[in-house]
Chain A
């Protein structure tokens, strides 16, 4: 029943949106996500979907249009990158606070200053506190599968939160890979018909959405949003399992690779996980006990799963493809440390890597594992930055 094809991440995403026959797509082009609305608008023009395509004049408008149409009762989507995501920032908070299950393809790219169009995670990480579920893909297949599952996760009655489906700009978005697509009818029966309980165009039950929330109510509403994010941990797994039964491709909120007896573990997300797995295989063939944990769901943050996966490593490195500029390390590092609640019992170090499209090679991952061995052996780290807050492939 699967259809073998070869597509780039952007093409696969546009294909997923088409197969689901989204009601509305509102988008503004920005590298490297431009191909998604470009390809999707061709599907619309060729009559392959019933979607209303809204070519807006900015990303702020794209998200505003999605909010309006989703509130009206239409399944809405968009795609963006980098500064486009930054321009949406205000509306991202409003979408999640209004509990609108919008889905968005985020093709990760460095946020400009200085100007750069290449991949890192500074755009997604800058949006981590917006109340959006954020799922990262390693490759094209995951990007495609994640998008289809995200609609179900977003619209689940216990969740009702927007979802950002991230893949690495250029690396995944433009690389053509072999993928297995689903039959359109299977996708449509998997996502089903969008039937919200409350929507503006319902003549039977008239509602007002997004009213003023004085100090008497906002805190209660934020707590309610927080509960939805907590509940989404279980809902995501539930939808993943259902998707697994349909496709044979089973996912979890994290993916572990050869960590059972690992003394040195790297935690990371996105396309670099594939590079790291090759290094793990190379080192394992020499008898070295190394492994990786790939975070697929960054929001909600699967702290419990990570805690349980880190059984007895001697040292752990968290790789951040965004410089949080916090003076104590990157955002994923902070989250992992929070998940371990200060009771790790092993050393955790942070590497800032791949900024602005800096290539991440197997040699770089080898260097991290070598550093971690130095940490175990008590040798002084070669890293010039603070002991636990390091840079990878930086010219010193």
Chain B
């Protein structure tokens, strides 16, 4: 049987798709952009941000990347727009906006 792991993407045919959707290896979520469910998104107001990093700890996904001990702008590929980051921010540095705005 074919080695699994590369057989799931939006172009794969029924003959090549992984058997029963079995997932081999870790980190497969990198290949699937699940942020398209979102109907509102968090916007970072950098001028209010004190870099306390509470938002990064509370984000249930991996949508607030940290570089050199500082958060940078949102990574929207996997952000579902849950709004937890806005609620936990003590400095009003995150604002939820409609996806259309």
Q: Give the complex CA separation of A209 and B18 in angstroms.
A: 11
Q: Which residues of B contact A220 (CB under 8 A)?
A: 12-14, 17
A213 and B14 contact, Cβ closer than 8 Å, known pairs A157-B1, A197-B1: no
Chain B at the A interface: mostly helix, strand, loop or mixed? Answer: loop
A206 near B17: Cβ-Cβ < 8 Å: no
**Digit string of B5-27 for contact with A (CB within 8 Å is 1, else 0)?**
00010101111010111111110
A193-233 interface with B by 8 A CB criterion:
197-198, 205-211, 213, 216-217, 219-221, 223-224, 227
B24 near A221: Cβ-Cβ < 8 Å: no
A224 near B19: Cβ-Cβ < 8 Å: yes
Q: Give the complex CA separation of A98 and B21 in angstroms.
A: 8
Is residue B4 contacting chain A, with contact meaning CB distance below 8 A? Answer: yes
CB contact between A209 and one of B17, B22, B26 (< 8 Å): that residue: B22
CB contact between B24 and one of A98, A207, A219 (< 8 Å): that residue: A207
Q: Which residues of A contact B22 (CB under 8 A)?
A: 198, 207-209
Q: Which residues of A contact B19 (CB under 8 A)?
A: 99, 160, 198, 224
For B, the interface residue count at a CB cutoff of 8 angstroms equals: 17
Q: Which residues of B contact A216 (CB under 8 A)?
A: 10
B1 near A217: Cβ-Cβ < 8 Å: no
**How near does chain B come to A40, taking the closest CB pair, in angstroms?**
28
A213 near B21: Cβ-Cβ < 8 Å: yes
Q: Give the complex CA separation of A221 and B14 in angstroms.
A: 6
Q: Give the complex CA separation of A391 and B19 in angstroms.
A: 44
Which of B's residues lie within 8 Å of A, judged by CB? 1, 4, 8, 10, 12-15, 17, 19-26
20 other contacts beyond A205-B24, A217-B8, with CB at 8 A cut-off?
A98-B20, A160-B19, A197-B1, A198-B19, A208-B23, A209-B20, A209-B22, A209-B23, A210-B21, A211-B21, A216-B10, A217-B17, A217-B21, A220-B12, A220-B13, A221-B14, A221-B17, A224-B14, A224-B15, A224-B17
Listed from nearest, the 3 A-B pairs whose CB atoms lie closest are: A223-B14, A220-B14, A208-B23
